[in-house]
Amino acid sequence: MSQLFPDYRPSWETDQHRELRKHAAEFFRKEATPNQERWVAQHAVDREFWNKAGAAGLLGLDLPEEFGGTGGDFAMQAVVQEELVYAHDQCFGFSVHSPIVAHYLYVYGNDEQRKRWLPKVISGEAVLAIAMTEPGTGSDLQSVRTTAIREGDTYVINGSKTFISNGTHCDLLVIVAKTDPSKGAAGVSLIVAETNDLAGFERGRVLQKIGQHGQDTRELFFSDMRVPVANLLGEQEGLGFYQLMEQLARERLIIATLCAALAEAAVLEAIKYSKEREAFGRPIGNFQNTKFVLAECKTEALAIKTLVDYAIRQYVDGNNDPMTASMAKLFAAEKCDQVVDKCLQVFGGYGYMAEYPIANMYTGSRVNRIYGGTSEIMKEIISRSL
């Protein structure tokens, strides 16, 4: 239940979602919130935390029971993502692993691949990452330079990737590569690398970001790395670009969900602080300017939430609409940034101190307008419907 809007009920929320919310909130406040400072210092969550999250039943919730999931819906992933944000987590790479990459394996994997990989994904035994972005290649995925050339029963993969979330811990890596460099988008394929003790696979440096310091974002390098042809996702080569386009709406929707929760969390922190901090003999929340700023922020947080919940409802009902997901991500990411910025101002100088959650929200929020497709790309997609 939203603390900022206690009477608000999303149209998609059922009793099962509410029970899950309580469970996720309790788990993350106990297991994630107290460890944020240590995880930031080591640039990654503890590897064992993935196993704990799996044992708690918080990974792969919308995957079938035969693989260890609950057979739920995307909204369950959204609930877990929201509770992570409410718990002030900036470290756990849940959104990449569970709502995004696990779905690639389930939708495009064959029976053998699903049986081999999904139980480990759901238990936390195998951590997932996806290698899309390359140095010099961002949103233009058909221009990737990484190649996967077939030799007999293996692909020989060469290239490099950057900005890879879960780069430290990933055991299974979905690689966007050119199986036929002469065909442009039609030559792109998705290939799964099982990275443990894999010759030719190298994890590069941990990238120093302006925010989300506890997430293990790395460069990855492939040098004559051999992966079985059996690890190709899809019935044939050349489907990767279309698979990516089909799944990006889901990725953008989970980012929008994160932004909606982040805006709420920021407003809650600012309201709390405004009642505790005094200036000129009274709480700063009693000053008209502070009240007006917070009133505006609360209104904007609800506007974000309702649009995102509309998009989630649409997706749960079976309409994977890239335009609506793009609208949700565009509005949520842009407005969340503005809300967090105004809430930080309420804290004055303390808002600039890393020990305060609002400071980490501020630095962590900015990337939401970039990854999963920039705001500019979102506008381009939306404009096609005009």
Of 31, 82, 134, 251, the catalytic one is 251
Strand partners, 282: 279
Q: Is 251 a catalytic residue?
A: yes
Name the residues annotated as catalytic: 251
